[in-house]
Amino acid sequence: MRYLVLLIIASVMLVAGMATNLVAGHHYHGHGCGFGIQSVADMDANQDGLVTFEEFSERYLNKLRVNFDMLDMDNDEQIDESEWKQFLKWHGLSDEMEKQPTG
């Protein structure tokens, strides 16, 4: 359960970071946000000149789905302890996580 909470927190931080870059990206020497979004039209799925929350969040939810699916190795729509530990191992984090107290 602890690992699922960490995954959710990481996912929220990822989306928040993308949104922050989206908003602040134009302030960083004109380089944009790095996600291929240059205008409202890039996010406006129905081309009405407005971006709804659903249109805005769709691209990020799709990225989160891809990340979740990579963790869910047996495709059961759940991430279990062994899948999470494998993910940590692949990213060189398994030793660090094992040293932290559980609770």
Query: Does residue 1 belong to any structural domain of this protein?
Result: no
- Identify the pLDDT of residue 43: 86
pLDDT over threshold 80, residue 97: no
Looking at the domain assignment, is residue 93 inside a domain? yes
- From residue 34, how far is each of 26, 44, 68, 99 by CA, in Å? 10, 18, 22, 35
The structural domain count of the chain equals 1
78 found inside a domain: yes
Is residue 67 a part of any domain in this protein? Answer: yes
Q: Which range of residues forms the domain containing residue 82?
A: 52-103
pLDDT for 74 equals 94
The answer, yes or no, to whether residue 100 has pLDDT greater than 70, is no
Q: Where are the alpha helices (H) located in 25-80, listed in sequence order?
A: 40-43, 53-71
Confirm if 22 and 35 have CB atoms less than 8 A apart. yes
Q: What CA–CA distance (Å, rounded) separates 63 from 70?
A: 11
Backbone region of residue 30 per phi and psi (left: phi > 0; alpha: psi in -120 to 50; beta: other values)? left
Kindly report, residue by residue over 32-70, the tens digit of the pLDDT.
Answer: 444 566 788 888 999 999 999 998 888 788 889 999 999
Residue 37 lies in a domain: no
pLDDT digits (tens, 9 = 90+) for 17-35: 554 444 444 444 444 444 5
Structural domain includes residue 40:
no
What is the reported pLDDT for 42? Answer: 86
Whether 47 maps to a domain, the answer reads no
